[in-house]
Structure 1
Amino acid sequence: MTTVQSPPAPPTAMRPRVVAGTGLYAVLAANAAVVTYFFVDVGFGASNALLVLGRLAGLYGALLMAFQLLLVARLPWLDRRIGMDRLTSWHRWTGFGILWTLLAHAVFITFGYADSSGLDPVNQLVDLAETVEGVLRAVAALVIILVVGAVSGRFARRRLAYETWHFIHLYTYLAVVLAFTHQVAVGTTFTASSAATAYWYALWGVALGSVLVGRLVLPLWRNWRHQLRVSAVVPESDNVVSIHITGRDLDRLPARAGQFFLWRFLTKDRWWQANPFSLSAAPDGRGLRLTAKAAGDGSAALRHLEPGTRVFAEGPYGAFTALHRTRPESLLIAGGVGVTPIRALLEELAGHAVVIYRVASDRDAVLYDELRELAHAKGAELHLVTGPVAPDRLAPAELIRMVPDIAERDVFLCGPPPMMNAVLGSLRALDVPKPQIHFERFSLAG
């Protein structure tokens, strides 16, 4: 696509993130109301309150599972408005909601039947698993969800390799299938009427269809259509390299400055490994460029890629784009290799811009010559801030000195997490309105 000069949204316009977020919450609330209606319409039909609570918890748990599939589907319309990092946060909290509702379902149902039969809860659960169709599958699904919930906690997540965590996480899809078949087998709420049955299958059809389209069909279609290949490998410094990529019909690829892709370079030893890298130049319809720092074996191997290597790219992802502008003027703050989406954004943004590039020393300022030429061409101000972490050179007093009208600008921020956290604190201290602050962390739902 040709580089788009993006003006800010009118002051009275609803922000895209608000529209998409409100829409998602409205969809969840509407479906919760429908589920409650069908549950009440069937009648409680239970011998005690525990069974009623257990069935209702199971229905809400199943609804949250369908909603979770929508969050992990990576649908472009949602992603470019909400952002993958925020969708991942919602995915995390929805996952814990599923865990607790399904656990409540199992406990209430087991104790409810135990109260009626006179059996102890353990023997009652064994009896249900042996005599009622679908219960054993439900137990297996709950065990999987408990394991996934345990490894998703912060304590375990910090100690597991990403590949291990992701492999365990994939079993959630098996849990979804097991839970769905259990619901079909014993879910009286959704077999009591043709309308309820049609609703249930439509709900899960949309949820599963979204995952199929977003995670499989769309990436396969785009890569078949665009036929991406490495055209050049350009070292930017001792540990940073730029990869130039060409392909077919790139003017039809809906990528914007600030977004990232999951890149797979189809070599014999790296085809299975996907890494998230931002575009370091605004898409122009002729080629794409990413710039990466060697932070592990995968990114270090990029330096040795050969021109002509096939590329499989999933995306574009991310809401760190000019779509969310609210002001005519901008401040772009980059730290280290976080300059890559900032450099691309500067190329696309219209209006006066100030760029602050924070690095430890001059030699760490990758793409600085490009950034300086681009800033000169667009009439932007560029500040290179160097030196050790302490004292904080992006403290409130320093920011207001460089950008006196900072509260009147959109602020785009990208860099290492400690730096981003410190700058966000400075922006709050300077009373920069939250809707004017734009940042995104590499984080993938599901």
Structure 2
Amino acid sequence: MTATRPSGLTTAQWLLALLGLNAMWVTDLFVMDGGLARDNLLTVLGRATGLYGALLLVFQLVLIARVPWLERGLGMDQLTRWHRWTGFWVLWLVLAHVVFITLGYAASDGSPLVDELGTLVFDTQDVLKATVATILLIGVAVTSARAARRRMRYETWHFVHLYAYLAVILGFLHQVTTGADFVGSPIATAYWWTLYGAALGAILLARLLLPLWRNGRHRLKVQTVVKESPNVVSVYITGRRLHELPARAGQFFLWRFLTRDRWWEAHPYSLSAMPDGRGLRITVKALGDGSSWLRTLRPGTRVFAEGPYGSFTSNPAHRKVLLIGGGVGITPVRALLEELRGDVVAVYRANQWEDTVLANELRYLAERTGARLHMVVGPPDNWLLSAAHLVSLVPDVRERNVFVCGPPGMTEAVMTTLRELAVPADQCHAERFAFAA
């Protein structure tokens, strides 16, 4: 998602600057080691690709650590997108490291390539661990490709993805025992230990300790489940000291409902009402086994929530706002409509009237806040929400901050329309209503 631009450097610029600074340090430590003069060209390339691959791997860990500062500044969509593409670069650099090191050592020893590979894997300390780590990274990368993701349950993909942590540990053990850039310099050793320690510490803090502390503090549980339509339910959640929970309209949590057979599943659902300090609400469409069973939840069921996440939030500087929601992606838009004041226009896109979940609530909120509400209902059509259609609904669209949430296809089409209308990029905020990919 696109976050609201803060003054000065953006979060993305700070993060990229930090990555560039570390790349300079890695290069400096590599050159100071003297390997450029000592090793042949292939071995130098092998060491360099290994080091930059390790640096990007640490960067990946930071991206998925869900550090509040990064998450608020970039949003889960942006972090996930960066994490995905960085992962493929990590894989190519690791493979290049294996190829160049093997070729370089074979050239130095004058041995056949296959024999040199066997010697490295089975006779060199901890290289077998690195081999296993490489195989695990390949498996994670293959299952992360879009074609593979479409054929896998989210829970299966997530379980396979956890092996990436084992790959990180095995790769690090290989580096600290055999890597010349680890064992050859106390400064380099301290740097790499600090780098890995900081990344893993961020994951431990943000993804384990902070959620455990918040859930222990707030003790969330299901209050009631309300059937909104034949295939949509709203789950009302209560707890203690909810006024201290830093949740905002437009954000989402990763929810675990602690039933005997589903406690291990975590699903991202947006808040469908503005947090009021007394309770939270999510509204979910039964799209499969992962969500249809929610209608059977019993009051009192304990809930474990990670979050809040997302930068799909309003800003006091937003005086003129356009909200566009599609399908069940209307839920964060509905929450924003409840929070926003000023000149607000809301557009609800649905294929048929039966799909207009929470329509009565939207009408009530629009009347209460003075917002204008447009219901755009009809089958998928290039004309609906096209540039001409959107301008007819909202003539001053270029002057507005635009929030878009819906199925990926609809969201991308609307964002394309906004670009056609020359709406400034920093006024466009989008969130995909789909699992991170």
Place the TM-score, normalised by the shorter chain, in its bin: over 0.9
The residue number in structure 1 matching 2:263 is: 271
Aligned to 2:23, the other structure's residue is in SS state: helix
1:231 partner SS: strand
| C-alpha contact 1:72 1:445 (8 A) present in aligned 2 | no
Q: Distance in 2 between matches of 1:101 and 1:284?
A: 48
What is residue 317 of structure 1 aligned with on the other side? 309
Q: Deviations over 1:348-384 (max 9, x none)?
A: 2232100111122333221111111111111111111
**Partner of residue 107, structure 2:** 115
Q: Which of 367, 384, 397 is equivalent to 2:375? A: 384
2:193 match? 201
Counterpart AA for 1:81: G
Map of 2:398 onto structure 1: 407
Where do 4+ consecutive residues of structure 1 move more than 4 Å? Answer: 442-446
In 2, Cα distance between the equivalents of 1:363 and 1:146? 44
* Structure 1, gaps ≥5 residues long: 1-7
Q: What corresponds to 2:45 in structure 1?
A: 53
Q: How many pairs does the alignment contain?
A: 434
1:113 to 1:391, Cα distance in 2 relative to 1, 3 A: closer
User: C-alpha offsets along residues 53-92 of structure 1, whole Å, 9 cap, x if unaligned?
Assistant: 1111111111111111101111121112211111111011
Moved more, 208-217 or 413-422: 413-422
Stretches of structure 2 that go unaligned for 5 or more consecutive residues are: none
Q: What's 1:214 paired with? A: 206
Which of 415, 420, 437 is equivalent to 2:428? Answer: 437
The one of 272, 277, 284 aligned to 1:285: 277
Larger mean CA deviation between 158-167 and 232-241 belongs to 158-167
Query: Structure with the greater relative contact order (CA < 8 A, sep ≥ 6): 1 or 2?
Result: 1
How far has the Cα of 1:445 moved from its partner? Answer: 6.4
What is the identity, as a one-letter code, of the residue corresponding to 2:118? V
Deviation of residue 234 (structure 1)? 1.2
Match of 2:24 among 21, 24, 33: 33
Please say if residues 273 and 331 of structure 2, whose CA atoms lie closer than 8 Å, have aligned partners that are also in contact: yes
Shift, 1:179, TM fit: 0.6
Amino acid at match of 1:157: R
Aligned to 2:154: 162
Residue type of the alignment partner of 1:359: A
d(CA) in 2 for partners of 1:445, 1:375: 31
Q: Supply the AA of the counterpart residue of 2:14.
A: G
AA matched with 2:56? L
Shift in alpha-carbon separation, 1:161–1:444, aligned structure 2, 3 A:
closer
Q: 1:232 to 1:53 in 2, by over 3 A?
A: same
2:229 to 231, 237, 240: 237
Letter in 2 for 1:343: R
How large is the Cα RMSD of the aligned pairs? 1.9
Match of 2:33 in 1: 42
Pairwise CA distance, 1:249? 1.0
Measured after TM superposition, the shift of residue 326 of structure 1 is: 6.0
**Residue 417 of structure 2 is aligned to residue 426 of structure 1:** yes
Query: What is the CA-CA distance between 1:340 and the residue it aligns to?
Result: 0.5
Identity %: 57
Matched, 1:14 2:22: no
Which residue of 387, 397, 412 corresponds with 1:396?
387
> Residues of 1 paired with 2:387 and 2:45: CA distance?
52
User: Relative to 1, partners in 2 of residues 1:279 and 1:292: Cα closer, same or farther, differing over 3 Å?
Assistant: same
Going from structure 1 to structure 2, the CA distance change for 1:405 and 1:280 (only over 3 Å counts) comes to: same
TM-score, normalised to structure 2, is: 0.95
**Stretch of structure 1 that moved more, 161-170 or 211-220:** 161-170
